[in-house]
């Protein structure tokens, strides 16, 4: 590896977990080697261990101002949350009366451990109570009116001191006033995991009943945590057994973890020599990072209000970039951040930002940068320098426009590019010699990216064409056309008015030119009455186009991968589709690449040959074995079984073909090195995006073929299907799907590096 990977990583994901500080690691090691006694043993080794444990407890009590309350050591915060909820609900159950309705309340932005544990224990304890989320405002602050209204009939209320995705803190004093004035007896748990070391806590001056904490969020190892229990709060042990922790939490104690925690507490308590920065210093660090981000991504939006957040968390989104793209970019620049979103169905979005009512794109594109209080000025400086390098790589690959940077260092784009938003595709064809571009099925979500590309590459747009009037989304065509093609006369799909025609089979087809290529317009009604297929062809030496000339067929929704376009819209006709499918068969070769306007299954592209192998209905039509009547019947039946939505998208065709993925051969770093030694024809393809590749790539990987260019690569290497291609990426997931796509199209020797660079560097 070269470039940035040679440098150490900059870890900006402290809210997920932190490294163990060297002093804490040394204390843990020493506990394993020397203070290894069982604190329950009465010999000297045991007594020493017990002493360490009690010293740690004392420090925790001092740090948290726990007064008469108990501090019990646990395995982490999730256990502390169980302990608290179980204890509170058992006590609350005994107070319930049969004729009343009850609820349990939790903040809508709470860590999932809280609502999930509430539901779990309500079921286990057979308590009938509604689990109700307390709404938050746009800053993530809890709705006090809602609490006032609902707390009187609630058994328990769970809130958090500091949010893990946004760093937003609640004003615990004013929250307490609201809660207690509404219900003085309600059991109150405050998840303090993200507050430790970042805000002052003086628990004895509050009426908080339970407060779970975790060691691994503040430089101690995983597997150690603690929970505060107010002296008057009911308690039921979550783990029974040997009676450790005065019978409150059984199980032999985690001495190494405790030893590490002890050192962290000592650092937090001592002003002098502590590696932890003051909150004023941390605020400065946040500003420096936020300023750098703003300088690099001028349209960045911060999802958290700094006024309401601890200084160690920044949550942001960059318009027209998905969180995955930014994550991949930063990972390549050796900065670790998190996507700040949870994966639900096919769409990744943050339920925390959703609860705050932020626009969907901000939630989908959210990136969380979080650092611990032990971060240094040098680390912040390096992080900022790397953010700048990363954004320069984006500029060079024409993902962002920066007027001040040098155009000459940009790589000229040539050929076909597949861009996507969700499962929908936009196709861009560029002829680098003439600097002309063609855009097919432009999606509105990609407007900015397309404009940046055209301007950065200094391209002339020849046409922006839709393959049909899309039912599932608004086209982005008009916006592009009004900006770049104002002078052009075209039909409603954007096909330019032209007198030029070529002979294609028995028909005269309208044609436009792009560089040395020709784009033929083939009417293929069926899915909609206005559906067309666009055939991108090499110009024939004679005047006749034959099927062999077509390199790419943009068939819209007529032939989808593993499916055929639905024909149950008002302007649909399955009879017309039947004829259009035959027309396409006669117009292109069986291996010409079909570029559809949707890719529901990460297959990128297909061909008639590949589709016939798995789609009986299509096979029946193309082999003339299925009559039009039979086709109509089977198609109507299929459309009634259409799975209407994929995530938030409408399905444009029912999946009928086998979309099962082939099990691809996998290498690890060692077996790959061995294979390369044995066969020098093994060719490694790095399939990350060019900006990731530019930021760090192995000297071994000779080729960079990003996923956006995979279809062109497949087209250009149709005659090298037997070659040993090994695909690699960051984590092994992109390489896997790309390898499966290639294998389906006949690249039988394709394999990938399992775990990607992440596991082999
Ligand atoms: N609560 C919050 C706010 C958290 O951030 C986390 C960890 O992500 C937890 C609870 C769970 O903590 P642990 O990993 O110690 O079980």
Q: What are the b/e assignments for 582-604, b being 16+ CB within 10 Å?
A: ebbbebbbeebbbbbbbbbbbbb
Residue from 583, 407, 620, 429 nearest 507 by CA:
583
Tell whether ligand 1 has an atom less than 6 A from the beta carbon of residue 191: yes
* DSSP structural state of residue 411: P
SS3 562: coil
Predicted local distance difference test score (pLDDT) of residue 743: 96
Q: Is the pLDDT assigned to residue 7 strictly greater than 90?
A: no
* CA 95 to ligand 1 centroid distance, Å: 30
Q: What are the C-alpha distances in Å from 591 to residues 139, 683, 696?
A: 54, 23, 35
For the segment 576-622, what is each residue's pLDDT rounded down to a tens digit? 999 999 999 999 999 999 999 999 999 999 999 999 999 999 999 99
Q: Is the pLDDT assigned to residue 184 strictly greater than 50?
A: yes
* CA 191 to ligand 1 centroid distance, Å: 8
Q: What are the b/e assignments for 237-275, b being 16+ CB within 10 Å?
A: bbbeeeebbeebbeeebbbbbbbbbbbbbbbbeeeeeee
pLDDT-derived band at 347 (thresholds 50, 70, 90) equals: low
For the segment 20-62, what is each residue's pLDDT rounded down to a tens digit? 999 999 999 999 999 999 999 999 999 999 999 999 999 999 9
| Under 8 Å between Cβ of 121 and 85 | yes
Q: Is the pLDDT assigned to residue 436 strictly greater than 50?
A: yes
Beta partners for residue 212, in sequence order: 227
| Under 8 Å between Cβ of 512 and 529 | no
The counts of H helices and E strands in the chain are 23, 35
Tell whether ligand 1 has an atom less than 6 A from the beta carbon of residue 76: yes
The mean per-residue pLDDT over the stretch 246-267 comes to 97
- How do the domains of the chain map onto residue ranges? 10-16+277-396, 36-269, 415-650, 665-760
Ligand 1: which residue has its CA nearest to atom 8?
Answer: 16
3.40.50.1820, 3.40.50.80, 1.20.1250.20, 3.90.1150.10: which CATH number matches 10-16+277-396?
3.90.1150.10
* CA 310 to ligand 1 centroid distance, Å: 17
For the segment 607-619, what is each residue's pLDDT rounded down to a tens digit? 999 999 999 999 9
Q: Is the dihedral of CA 307, 309, 313, 319 positive or negative?
A: negative
Counting atoms of ligand 1 from 1, which one is nearest the CA of 75? 15
Distance between CA 574 and CA 561 in Å, rounded?
18
Q: % helix / strand / coil in the chain, to the nearest 5?
A: 40, 20, 40
The mean per-residue pLDDT over the stretch 383-388 comes to 97
Q: Is the pLDDT assigned to residue 534 strictly greater than 90?
A: yes
* CA 720 to ligand 1 centroid distance, Å: 50
DSSP readout, 448-461?
HHHHHHHHHTTPEE
For the segment 117-152, what is each residue's pLDDT rounded down to a tens digit? 999 999 999 999 999 999 999 999 999 999 999 999
SS3 732: coil
The mean per-residue pLDDT over the stretch 11-28 comes to 97
Residue from 12, 35, 4 nearest 380 by CA:
12
Q: What are the C-alpha distances in Å from 253 to residues 21, 47, 546, 553?
A: 21, 13, 78, 66
Distance between CA 350 and CA 165 in Å, rounded?
9
Tell whether ligand 1 has an atom less than 6 A from the beta carbon of residue 193: yes
pLDDT-derived band at 5 (thresholds 50, 70, 90) equals: very low
Distance between CA 584 and CA 303 in Å, rounded?
48
* DSSP structural state of residue 598: B
For the segment 194-219, what is each residue's pLDDT rounded down to a tens digit? 999 999 999 999 999 999 999 999 99
Q: Is the pLDDT assigned to residue 458 strictly greater than 90?
A: yes
Q: Which of 228-242, 647-661, 669-683 has the highest mean pLDDT?
A: 228-242
H or E stretch at 391: helix 377-396
Degrees, nearest 5: CA angle 174-129-90: 85
Distance between CA 28 and CA 173 in Å, rounded?
36
Q: What are the C-alpha distances in Å from 692 to residues 160, 635, 739?
A: 37, 44, 19
Name the catalytic one among 343, 456, 595, 683. Answer: 343
Predicted local distance difference test score (pLDDT) of residue 3: 45
Residue 729 appears among annotated catalytic residues: no
Residues 6+ apart with CB under 8 A from 150: 103, 105, 132, 134
* CA 263 to ligand 1 centroid distance, Å: 21
Predicted local distance difference test score (pLDDT) of residue 470: 75
Average pLDDT of the chain to the nearest whole number: 92
- Ligand 1 pocket mutation, candidates 14, 77, 192, 351, criterion most atoms within 8 A of CB: 77
Q: Which two tokens stand for residue 41?
A: 């043993």
Tell whether ligand 1 has an atom less than 6 A from the beta carbon of residue 225: yes
* CA 253 to ligand 1 centroid distance, Å: 20
Ligand 1: which residue has its CA nearest to atom 16?
Answer: 78
Q: Is the pLDDT assigned to residue 256 strictly greater than 60?
A: yes
Distance between CA 33 and CA 26 in Å, rounded?
10
Q: Which two tokens stand for residue 377?
A: 């000025």
Residue from 481, 467, 456, 453 nearest 552 by CA:
467
1.20.120.430, 3.40.640.10, 3.10.50.40, 3.60.15.10: which CATH number matches 415-650?
3.60.15.10
* Number of other CB atoms surrounding residue 23 within 10 Å: 15
Predicted local distance difference test score (pLDDT) of residue 632: 95
Q: What are the C-alpha distances in Å from 215 to residues 18, 194, 265, 416, 651?
A: 9, 10, 10, 51, 46
User: Domain 665-760 class?
Assistant: alpha beta
How does strand 653-655 pair with strand 563-565?
antiparallel
Q: Is the pLDDT assigned to residue 735 strictly greater than 80?
A: yes
- Ligand 1 pocket mutation, candidates 166, 193, 340, criterion most atoms within 8 A of CB: 193
Residue from 16, 74, 121 nearest 228 by CA:
74
Predicted local distance difference test score (pLDDT) of residue 672: 92
Tell whether ligand 1 has an atom less than 6 A from the beta carbon of residue 78: yes
Distance between CA 620 and CA 623 in Å, rounded?
5
- Ligand 1 pocket mutation, candidates 16, 82, 110, 113, criterion most atoms within 8 A of CB: 113
CATH number belonging to domain 36-269 = 3.40.640.10
Residues 6+ apart with CB under 8 A from 156: 85, 88, 89, 92, 104, 105, 118, 186, 187, 188, 189
């Amino acid at each position: 590896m070269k470039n940035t990977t040679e440098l150490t990583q900059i870890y900006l994901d402290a809210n997920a977990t932190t490294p163990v500080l060297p002093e804490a690691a040394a204390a843990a090691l020493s506990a394993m080697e020397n203070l290894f006694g069982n604190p329950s043993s009465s010999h000297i080794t045991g007594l020493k261990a017990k002493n360490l444990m009690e010293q740690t407890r004392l420090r925790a009590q001092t740090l948290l101002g726990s007064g008469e309350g108990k501090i019990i050591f646990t395995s982490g915060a999730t256990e502390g949350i169980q302990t608290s909820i179980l204890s509170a609900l058992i006590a609350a159950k005994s107070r319930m009366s049969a004729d009343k309705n009850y609820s349990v309340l939790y903040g809508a932005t709470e860590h999932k451990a809280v609502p999930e544990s509430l539901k779990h224990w309500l079921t286990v304890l057979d308590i009938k109570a509604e689990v109700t989320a307390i709404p938050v405002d746009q800053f993530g602050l809890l709705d006090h009116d809602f609490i006032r209204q609902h707390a009187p009939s609630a058994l328990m209320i769970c809130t958090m001191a500091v949010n893990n995705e946004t760093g937003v803190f609640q004003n615990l004093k004013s929250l307490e006033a609201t809660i207690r004035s509404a219900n003085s007896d309600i059991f109150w748990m405050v998840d303090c995991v993200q507050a430790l070391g970042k805000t002052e806590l003086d628990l004895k001056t509050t009426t908080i009943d339970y407060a779970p904490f975790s060691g691994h969020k503040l430089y101690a190892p995983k597997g150690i945590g603690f929970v505060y229990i107010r002296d008057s709060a009911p308690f039921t042990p979550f783990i029974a057994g040997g009676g450790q922790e005065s019978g409150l939490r059984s199980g032999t104690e985690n001495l190494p973890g405790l030893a590490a925690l002890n050192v962290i507490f000592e650092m937090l308590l001592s002003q002098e020599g502590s590696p932890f920065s003051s909150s004023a210093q941390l605020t400065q660090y946040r500003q420096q990072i936020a300023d750098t981000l703003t300088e690099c991504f001028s349209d960045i939006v911060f999802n958290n209000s700094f006024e309401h957040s601890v200084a160690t968390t920044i949550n942001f989104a960059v318009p027209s970039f998905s969180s995955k793209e930014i994550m991949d970019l930063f990972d390549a620049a050796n900065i670790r951040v998190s996507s700040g979103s949870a994966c639900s169905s096919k769409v990744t979005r943050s339920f925390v930002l959703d609860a705050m009512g932020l626009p969907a794109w901000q939630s989908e594109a959210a990136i969380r940068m979080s650092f611990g209080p032990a971060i240094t000025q040098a680390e912040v400086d390096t992080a900022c320098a790397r953010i700048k390098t990363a954004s320069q790589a984006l500029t060079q690959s024409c993902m962002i426009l920066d007027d001040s940077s040098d155009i000459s260092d940009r790589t000229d784009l040539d050929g076909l590019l597949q861009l996507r938003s969700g499962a929908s595709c936009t196709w861009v064809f560029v002829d680098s010699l003439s600097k002309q571009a063609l855009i097919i099925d432009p999606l509105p979500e990609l407007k900015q990216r397309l404009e940046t590309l055209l301007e950065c590459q200094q391209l002339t747009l020849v046409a922006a064409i839709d393959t049909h009037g899309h039912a599932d989304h608004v086209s982005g065509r008009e916006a592009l056309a009004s900006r770049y093609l104002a002078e052009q006369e075209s039909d409603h799909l954007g096909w330019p008015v032209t007198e030029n025609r070529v002979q294609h089979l028995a028909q005269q087809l309208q044609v436009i030119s792009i560089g040395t290529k020709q784009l033929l317009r083939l009417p293929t009604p069926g899915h909609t009455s206005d559906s067309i297929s666009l055939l991108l062809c090499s110009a024939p030496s004679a005047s006749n186009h034959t099927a062999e000339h077509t390199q790419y067929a943009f068939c819209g929704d007529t032939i989808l991968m593993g499916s055929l376009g639905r024909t149950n819209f008002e302007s649909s006709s399955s009879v017309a589709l039947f004829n259009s499918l035959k027309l396409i068969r006669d117009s292109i070769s069986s291996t010409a690449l079909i570029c559809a306007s949707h890719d529901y299954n990460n297959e990128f592209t297909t061909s008639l040959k590949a589709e016939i192998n798995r789609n009986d209905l299509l096979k029946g039509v193309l082999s003339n074995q299925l009559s039009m009547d039979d086709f109509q019947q089977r198609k109507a039946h299929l459309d009634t079984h259409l799975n209407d939505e994929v995530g938030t998208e409408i399905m444009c065709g029912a999946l009928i073909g086998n979309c099962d993925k082939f099990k691809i051969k996998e290498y690890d770093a060692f077996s790959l090195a061995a294979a390369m030694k044995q066969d020098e024809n093994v060719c490694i393809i790095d399939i990350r995006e060019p900006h990731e590749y530019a930021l760090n790539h192995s000297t071994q990987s000779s080729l960079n073929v990003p996923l956006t260019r995979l279809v062109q690569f497949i087209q250009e290497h149709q005659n090298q299907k037997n070659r040993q291609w090994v695909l690699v990426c960051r984590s092994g997931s992109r390489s896997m799907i790309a390898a499966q796509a290639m294998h389906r199209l006949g690249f039988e020797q394709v394999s990938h590096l399992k775990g990607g660079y992440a596991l082999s560097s």
